[in-house]
Chains A and B, each alone.
Chain A
Amino acid sequence: MSVSTVPADTSFQFSQLWRDARYRSYTIQILALVVALSVAMMLVMNAVENLKELGKDFSFSFLFEPAGYDIGQMLVEYSSASAHWKAALVGLLNTLLVAFLACVTATIIGVFVGVLRLSNNWVVSRLMAVYIEGVRNVPLLLQILAWYAVFIHVFPAPKLAVKSPVIEGAVYATNRGFYIPGLTFEGSYQVVVATLIASIIGMVVFRRWAHQRQEATGQILAVGWISLGILVLPTFLVYFASGMPIGLDYPVAGKFNLKGGVKIGTPLVALWFALSIYSAAFVAEIVRAGIMAISKGQTEAAYALGLRPRRTMSLIVLPQSLRIIIPPMISNYLNITKNSSLAIAVGYMDLTGTLGGITLNQTGREMECMLLLMATYLLISLSISAVMNAYNESVKLKGR
């Protein structure tokens, strides 16, 4: 056996930068940083140079110039004389409105479909599978456009508006949209609103107290009925005591158009409809996966303890499956919000339609508009993910 007689060379060699694990990580990181920075530098330099070439500056002062265009659906005061930032705000609120509506309906439909998909009734389960597969495998944009076309072609012009049959004339359906009763506020309506808010807070406090009491003593109150009472009764009493200050403003059929009420434009309805039906299929799959993930032993153990099926569901199965269901559900809500940007295809004026659409085209400030647009969406997404991470942290199984 021969022993190497060459003494180990301990001095630093250049090749150690990528051969030696001690230095290699620094080499790779510095290289990555240099590449990333130089790409970023190049992009910025090019942008600066190209903007100068075109004689454009980089400023957000256009936001305070009058927008000069009208928006069909709005939640805050807006006219074509308002500034561009106001138009963007209307757009943002419209985005949030349709996203909120779609999240609520998609959740309701999706939970139903998901539970029915798991039903041991063969016909129902097959039917739900057909719905889920059919909706998930067709592009959302196509569904939005198709629903929009359906709503436009099925309902008549405002002159021949379809009246709701149940409460005659409370709801009108036309090809421009739906007209529903609006709320009118007069007199001391603030008292009623304040009572409602107070009862909601009261209900939450009561539920928390009832839960703690159950944990401590094992006694269970009729939480559902009592909280319903807390929610409804005081508001009801105050409403009549203060002389019914909140009324309904019914839409009235005019000669060519409808007056009064609240108009929900066809673009909003079509978008809402399509987003709900599309996302409900995803919600259904999430719910199904969540319920299936809870092992049967949990249910059987709960029965062995003498719990009834309803309590087993609410105390044993649901709390565990919610831990699995909620994170993908929240990222699904995030997807709904991002998908609502497809509104531009049916002319619903959301953030993309105002800031990234008409404002961009009118002012020619592509760079500023796109930056603002992306930053806003990014802000919404990051805040939703922050909520999700906080939730995940709070329900994480401890000590696993």
Chain B
Amino acid sequence: MDVDLIVTSFPKLLSASLVTLKLLSSSLFIGLFIGLLFAILRLNKNLIVSKFAYGYSYVFRGTPLLVQIFIIYYGLGQIESLRESIFWTILKEPYWCAIIAFALNTGAYTSEILRSAFQTIKPGFIEAGKSLGIKNKIIFYKIQIPIAIRQSLPAYGNEIILMMKGTSLASTVTLMDLTGVAKYIISTTFKPIEVFIIAGSIYLFMTFIIHNLIKYLEKKYSF
């Protein structure tokens, strides 16, 4: 064990975990909207719309995240017409490629979590609203969405933790996130154990925070 290396690399890894957090929060933020949109589309009575939403979640849950990042980063970069379009200003940057891949991936899982939450709402709640003469739109926003969010909290907490660990794949497209910086330090010191132990501990600490935050929210909104 090289204690010196642990001491000197800790601050570098800590500041790199800010990149990890930034990637995580942006992709979760975008992914939540994508998830909500596709969960609603999924429950649409129109078969084409609901099949389309199902197809999206099927594709993104059925392929590895690493493959998705590679297709978006290296794959799209090979298409010449795309490189000359305005999309290239975004797709040129590894940061945005990673966020697009993460958001689409977590969006697919979130849509499934929210869909099952919507479907488990007891019909009685909606009927109660209707019997009071509340409009459908208001029932949806004030009754269905809050209940669905509460129902999906435990599953969504898992998804956040999975996504947090998934951001380590950003290092494969040259981003200097926690894993990227850890690999960089190893490439000059050739000591993987020390560096990965600290990187692992930082990931574990983030999991600890997320886990407790979700637990707190579950308690606060229990009924």
Question: Does B associate with A?
Answer: no
Interface residues, chain A, with chain B CB atoms under 8 Å away = none
Interface residues, chain B, with chain A CB atoms under 8 Å away = none
